[in-house]
A = this chain, B = another copy of it.
Amino acid sequence: MQIDPPYLMFLGDVPDKLAAKTAYGIVDWRREWCLGQVRLPGCQADLSLPDVTVKDAHAKGARTMIVGIVNAGGVLNPGWVPTIVEALETGMDVASGLHIRLDSNPEIAAAAKAHGRKLHDVRMSDQHFATGKGTKRQGRRLLTVGTDCSVGKKYTVLALEKVMRARGLDADFRATGQTGVFISGRGVAIDAVVADFISGAVEWISPAAESPDHWDLVEGQGSLFHPSFSGVTLGLLHGAQPDAFVICHEPTRKTMRGVQHPLPSIQEVIDLTIRCGQLTNPAIRPVGIAVNTQALGEEEARAYLAGLEKEYGLPATDPIRFGVEGIVDRVVADFPATPA
């Protein structure tokens, strides 16, 4: 899936910020791609982008309108259709993370066809992938893994991309979830792929690099210890064949998201990630720990992270609070540039 920026952000009439979570994620990381926002009467979210019309945005160069809305019920709000149709008529593609296909609406399907525009449904995967092969591909890869779902795996790789690029390293974020796909403009929502093709899809997401020193920073999903999503996580690990991984963790969580199971320890995640990851990369190793310390005071957070550094011999940080420089230092130290 290839989504062309710049983007026009469509928020519809969402009742709160949470319903526009995807849109906020895009603006956080790709502010420069977002030309403006279109909001309908009653909209309770604000991306702090200029409020524009569809025509204005198109005139300014917007190529894709992003429907950055989470709709719980799985229905396409009829009130959104005229704006989506207008974007297609004006000459933009439309991309959505809704649970329902854009082309399930006849007006939208007809407008896309009539104007030769693309409809991207990021949550659906129609793409045909080969099965994974597990053979070594050129380039270096880093994957985020976790003690649970929703512990900062996407944020961590995006923060690493920013710092690594600032240091002149050749690094690309590789998206495996819907918000990530909008942020990178490319990728696959890996949890929507047919089970037989999980690792094959990841091999497509992170293909052989042109340089042996190029880093793909692959967004992790789920956890090897999550009884709902472990299959996605293992297929992702085998497909990504990471040289390095960062363990993401939330220290106050008692049970894994949506189930009754306790969180595994960081050590258990390290051990099983290495055990399984060696299948497609015998040299796999941990390079850092990324902790969401939001629930801790600053001193408490610093003490907790210092304790982890000592216990695991790895840089430990909260990417939001303290940045990821220490992890990048470790990556640079562990993976020196290939001699010319």
Stretch at the interface among A127-135, A163-171, A295-303, A316-324: A127-135
Distance (whole angstroms) from the CB of A229 to the closest CB of chain B: 6
Distance (whole angstroms) from the CB of A74 to the closest CB of chain B: 11
Contacts A192-B195, A196-B192, A224-B276; A134 near B259 (Cβ below 8 A): yes
- In A126-161, the 8 Å CB interface with B consists of 131-135
Assembled-state Cα–Cα distance A236/B228 (Å): 10
Question: Which B residues lie within 8 Å of A258 (CB)?
Answer: 131, 133
A251 in contact (CB, < 8 A): no
A235 in contact (CB, < 8 A): yes
Partner of A260, one of B131, B135, B234, B239: B135
Assembled-state Cα–Cα distance A192/B230 (Å): 17
Chain A contact patch, size range: 35 or more
Contacts A275-B275, A279-B227; A232 near B134 (Cβ below 8 A): no
Distance (whole angstroms) from the CB of A283 to the closest CB of chain B: 16
Most buried by B among A229, A233, A260: A229
Per-residue 0/1 for A214-237: is the Cβ within 8 Å of any B Cβ (1 yes, 0 no)? 000000000011011111111110
Contacts A191-B194, A195-B192, A195-B193; A132 near B275 (Cβ below 8 A): no
B238 touches A261 (CB 8 A): no
Assembled-state Cα–Cα distance A62/B88 (Å): 52
A261 touches B194 (CB 8 A): no
A272 in contact (CB, < 8 A): yes
A227 touches B198 (CB 8 A): no
Question: Which B residues lie within 8 Å of A199 (CB)?
Answer: 227-231
A200 in contact (CB, < 8 A): yes
A194 touches B196 (CB 8 A): no
Question: Which B residues lie within 8 Å of A195 (CB)?
Answer: 190-195, 198, 231-232, 235
A231 touches B227 (CB 8 A): no
A44 in contact (CB, < 8 A): no
Contacts A198-B195, A231-B238; A279 near B190 (Cβ below 8 A): no
